[in-house]
Amino acid sequence: MSNPMNRRQFLERAGRAALAGAAVPAIHAAAANEPAATQPALEWRNRQPGMAYTKLGRTNFMTSRVAFGAGGLFENTGGDARLLELAVERGVNYIDTARGYGRSEAVIGQFAKQHRDKLFVVSKARDIGWPKMTIRKGEDAKCAALFSEQLDKSLSSLGFEPVDCYMIQGAEHDWIVTMDALYNVFEKARKAGKVRYFGLATHTNVGPVCELAAQTKRYDVVMLSIHPGNAADLAPAIGKMRQAGIGVVSMKTGGKVRGDDFKDTFGGFFAGHNLTPHQKAFAWLLLRAQVDAFNSHMPNREILEENLAVPTLPLGKAELDAMENDLYAAYRGVCRHCGQCNAVCPNGVRPGDLLRCHAYRVHYREDAWAATALTECGGRESAARCRACGACSSRCPAGIDLPTFVGSLRA
């Protein structure tokens, strides 16, 4: 295994990645066969026989097909750093964190002191997007300065540089995605050896954001909210990103498929292909939605084991077809992250943002995280302005009763 790459080595290697897309291999494949004469060497970290890997777009990094979502290491949630160690022992190498995840970056930094050469670490700048957007259109210089400040704080918390990829968190506006000042400050940081790759994470207005990201040819990795209920809508945008050489990572796949009966269903999933609904969704995304890796929140051992079982499942076409029908039914009525409801309220309520806070509490089981997000996005004050006019529901393609949901937050 290679030694961790320091800043000098990074600067010598910067810019060598090929601008070429990659088709997603079968779920159980270790790697695609790349002609040595036309492709630069693949970058491997923490390669283990029990994990599947694929090339992450033009980065040429061989990512594990499951990413460790480190939000479970958020302050006061009780997240156990041992879960990160277990995931890496099993071959996970893509680690996702953010400035907004409390102590997560610091925990990863401590772990990286002994294991940096095993990890592809991705973090994200906050306050440029959801939940606490402090930038307005036209404030390009302020946005660039904030990104630079956030990156430096992340590097300080992590305790190493370069960070492999630094993203804009919660990108939903076209002027953010295409902002020259933002990209220029990233390029300056890359040349200084602080960061290797540029990315964004998008939870709202996902399709247009992803298409714009592909058009700019600036982004190396994009993480998007996707599940079987909205995958068909997002397929054209994903195709364009892959053609542009962008690595594609999924998130927010849980929807309502992980319910209160999770512990009852967990016990038997090792037997044959008796899969939980959540495993079915992840497997389907890897095999049929052109996703390189799925990022999943991993707050406990049960969910960690559930996720680690997915990448090497030898699923055939008949099984996938049957799963597909089940998944379409399970995801009927789940938020599609289109953002249409956020744009129509005469009183400025953004129901889509409030649904995300609900997901943190119900699907992630993270009460502290949900409460923090609800406070940062002004959720309760926003809900109090709702007059139940129904404008948001009339625009919702999933048919969600949004006024009733928003009303439940007033208490």
Residue 401 within any structural domain of the chain: yes
Residue 388 within any structural domain of the chain: yes
Residue 334 within any structural domain of the chain: no
- Report the phi/psi class of residue 79: left, alpha or beta, with left for phi > 0 and alpha for psi in -120 to 50: beta
Q: Give percent of the chain above pLDDT 90.
A: 48
Indicate if the pLDDT at residue 375 is higher than 80. no
* 365 lies in the same domain as 270: no
Q: What is the spatial distance between Cα 208 and Cα 326, in angstroms, rounded to a whole number?
A: 28
Residue 38: pLDDT band with limits 50, 70, 90: low
Indicate if the pLDDT at residue 239 is higher than 50. yes
For position 397, what pLDDT does the model report?
83
Distances (CA, A) of 81 to 65, 106, 309, 325, 340: 21, 11, 20, 37, 38
Structural domain boundaries, residue 373 = 340-407
Last residue of a domain, one of 328, 357, 388: 328
Indicate if the pLDDT at residue 75 is higher than 70. no
Dihedral sign from CA coordinates of 169, 175, 177, 182: negative
* 304 lies in the same domain as 378: no
* 257 lies in the same domain as 354: no
* 310 lies in the same domain as 394: no
Indicate if the pLDDT at residue 270 is higher than 60. no
* 280 lies in the same domain as 403: no
Last residue of a domain, one of 303, 328, 353: 328
pTM for the model: 0.80
* 13 lies in the same domain as 147: yes
* 226 lies in the same domain as 346: no
* 324 lies in the same domain as 377: no
| Location of structure tokens 């320091």 | 6
Q: What is the CATH number of the domain that holds 113?
A: 3.20.20.100
Residue 286 within any structural domain of the chain: yes
Residue 2 within any structural domain of the chain: no
Residue 23: pLDDT band with limits 50, 70, 90: very low
Domain count within the chain: 2
* 294 lies in the same domain as 351: no
Residue 335 within any structural domain of the chain: no
For position 100, what pLDDT does the model report?
86
Q: What is the spatial distance between Cα 48 and Cα 59, in angstroms, rounded to a whole number?
A: 20
* 285 lies in the same domain as 368: no
Last residue of a domain, one of 276, 306, 328: 328
Q: Which residue type does 111 have?
A: F
pLDDT, one tens digit per residue, over 179-222 is 999 999 999 999 999 999 999 999 889 999 999 999 999 999 99
* 203 lies in the same domain as 348: no
377, 132 Cβ separation under 8 angstroms: yes
* 310 lies in the same domain as 378: no
Residue 333 within any structural domain of the chain: no
Residue 313 within any structural domain of the chain: yes
Phi first, then psi: give them for residue 77, nearest 5 degrees: -95, -10
Indicate if the pLDDT at residue 289 is higher than 90. yes
For residues 139-154, average pLDDT: 97
Nearest to 3 by CA among 112, 133, 117, 97: 117
Of 89-103, 173-187, 309-323, least confident by mean pLDDT is 309-323
